[in-house]
Structure 1
Amino acid sequence: MTEHYSIDHLPGRTIDLDGQDYLFFSGTSYLGMAQNPAFRALLIEGMAQYGTVFGSSRNGNLQLRIYEEAEVKLAAFARAEAALTLSSGMLAGQAVVNWLKGQDFGFLYGPNAHPAIWQEPNTRLPTLSFDDWTKRLPELVATAPTRHIVIALNSLDALFSVGYSFEWVHQLPVDQEITLLVDDSHGLGVIGPEGSGIGSKIPKRDNVRLIVTASLAKAMGLPGGVIFSDPQTLASIRRTAFFGACSPTPPAYLYAFGQAQGLYHAAFDRLLENIRRFENRVGDSDLFQHIPAYPVFYTAQDQLYSSLLANRIFVYSFAYPSPTDKPNTRIVINAMHQPEDIEQLGDYLYGTTR
């Protein structure tokens, strides 16, 4: 069982454990925005104008323009038609699910779909591999008891660093109304052109409505969530009581995001450089499974965690999603890492695995 550690500072490229520095290759701050000094300065500007929180419904009779302004920029960043923000990725997913449930849509779930897009707490997910599931999907859609179908899935498998192709969308029936609901929490800011996420990589179909949800608290470094879709769909979700009752994202963070487009692009470029450096060090080793140009490197060799820890390198390794599950051990590269950090990690891995 993995031991749990407690620290009193935000992890960056390193952490302090018992007075010693450890290289930190864990977490989900892929772009390092939470520790970016320039982004923090923008956040201070935002707090000076908007305070720490806006405790009001987005549907109230007093509106802050920053929300609409930031949503336009978020949609442009993700290359989506429109965006709608909420206070978490979990709420973003549930706002969509709640809206779809009210229209009596039938749900089909992909393997390991995130709980944010579950219809109920005990939602049953398929045990098939993703490839086997997609092969069966056209038949599952065609034989579903309702003609209105929601296909809910993740944009990729971040736990085991497995990429998903969406070419199967071309094989879906053309005579049914289909909503494709994709959680892109671990893709937004990291995959797609300039980190724009999964949206532009999904084929367009006239009878398939695309809704993408995501946490903004990972690569984007913002305490909130977002829904991307067409303006009509988002306007309908916004009119629901569920959305109206949700607290919004703190406006200071959206102000900072709006001013930080150059910072995001620079961080994305640094992240790609760091990933390429580590990929070159690992080479064709079968120690890791990972998506090319993606910052997560999964290993089935859980003992690597303790070996790295003994060498003052801290990586992700704990049971997930429940305490009874097998530990998931991953090395996570981020934009804050320096070349010498990657080289030190690579030197240790070469010395212990080859």
Structure 2
Amino acid sequence: MTSYYTIDHLPGRTIQLDGQDYLFFSGTSYLGMAQHPAFQALLAEGMARYGTMFGSSRNGNLQLNIYGEAEAQLAAFARAEAALTLSSGMLAGQAVVNWLKAQGFGFIYGPKAHPAIWQDPSTSLPTVSFTDWTDQLPELVAAAATPNVVIALNSLDALCSVDYSFDWVNRLPDGQEVTLLVDDSHGFGVIGPEGSGVGALIPRRANVRLIVTASLAKAMGMPGGVIFADPETLRAIRHTAFFGACSPIPPAYLHAFGRAQALYRTAFERLQTNIARFENRIGLSDRFQHIPAYPVFYTEQDQLYSYLLANRILIYSFAYPTPADKPNTRIVISALHQPEDIEQLGDCLYGKTG
């Protein structure tokens, strides 16, 4: 059984437990931005200008330029048409879902779709494999009870490190309007060209509207969420009561984001180097399930958690999504790790080399 620990400092490449240093291979701070001194300095600069929070509706009669500026930068980063920020990834997903729901759209859910893009709390998700589900999609869309259909899914399976191909988009029926709603919370900043996310990997169809939502609290190191879509769709969402009544992301973070593009590029390159180092160390091991160039390494061997803990290495392992579920055990590589950290992990798993 997994033990739970409490600390009073932000995890980095290491943490302290009972007065001892442990290597930390867990969490979702893939690019290490929350711990990056230069990013923290930019955030302090932003707080000196904007304070800790903007206590107003984004649709109020006094607005801050930083939101429009940062959303244009986020759209450019994601290679998307436009972007709209909210105070969390969950809220970003639900803002889209509520807007679509109000228009009577019918929803088709992918396996393991995140609750952020559920239409209601009792949503039942498919239990088939992703490939089997996509094989059924053309028929499911054609048989939908409503003329406007939403296909809601994750960009990948981050829990078990399984890649999702989007080639099936080209097989969707031509004569039906489809909205493809993709949660890219675990992909934005990490997958796609230069970490731009899933948007660049999805085929475009004239009858398929693409909306991508994401948490910014993972790779991007900011407490907020974002919606990427065409400008008309984002204008409509912005004019809803759901968006108008919610608090915005603190502007200081958007100030920091706009001035941290070089930091993000360097962190992405370092993350890729660290992943490649660990990939080379484990080789073709059947111990891990892993998307190439992705920082999550999933294992069915839950006992690995206790073994590594005894060697002062803490990895991700706890029951998810509810306490009644099987533990999800995985190693997470970040841009913070040093080469010697990767080697020490490899030594514990496979013995010393050379």
TM-score using structure 1 length: 0.99
| Cα distance in 2, alignment partners of residues 314 and 111 from structure 1 | 29
Aligned 1:170-319 pairs, distance under 5 A:
170-319=170-319
Secondary structure of the equivalent of 1:57? coil
Question: Does 1:150 pair with 2:166?
Answer: no
| Cα distance in 2, alignment partners of residues 43 and 184 from structure 1 | 24
| Cα distance in 1, alignment partners of residues 351 and 161 from structure 2 | 24
Q: What root-mean-square deviation, in Å, do the aligned CA atoms of Structure 1 and Structure 2 show?
A: 0.7
1:334 is aligned to 334
1:112 is aligned to 112
| Cα distance in 2, alignment partners of residues 64 and 160 from structure 1 | 40
Aligned 1:32-181 pairs, distance under 5 A:
32-181=32-181
2:14 is aligned to 14
Secondary structure of the equivalent of 2:271? helix
Cα deviation for residue 37 of structure 1 reads 0.4
Secondary structure of the equivalent of 1:185? coil
Percentage of matched positions with identical amino acids:
80
Cα deviation for residue 34 of structure 1 reads 0.4
Cα deviation for residue 22 of structure 1 reads 0.2
CA-to-aligned-CA distance 1:315-353 (integer Å, 9 cap, x gap): 00000010100000000000000000000000111039x
* Amino acid aligned to 1:8: D
| Cα distance in 2, alignment partners of residues 284 and 211 from structure 1 | 36
Secondary structure of the equivalent of 1:316? strand
Secondary structure of the equivalent of 1:340? helix
Cα deviation for residue 55 of structure 1 reads 1.2
| Cα distance in 2, alignment partners of residues 26 and 37 from structure 1 | 20
| Cα distance in 1, alignment partners of residues 325 and 211 from structure 2 | 30
* Amino acid aligned to 2:28: T
1:349 is aligned to 349
Structure 1: which 4+ aligned runs deviate by more than 2 Å?
Answer: none
TM-score using structure 2 length: 0.99
CA-to-aligned-CA distance 1:50-93 (integer Å, 9 cap, x gap): 00001110000000000000000000000000000000000000
Gaps (5+ residues) in structure 1? none
| Cα distance in 2, alignment partners of residues 91 and 61 from structure 1 | 23
Secondary structure of the equivalent of 1:16? strand
* Amino acid aligned to 1:250: P
Aligned pairs, number: 352
Secondary structure of the equivalent of 1:234? helix
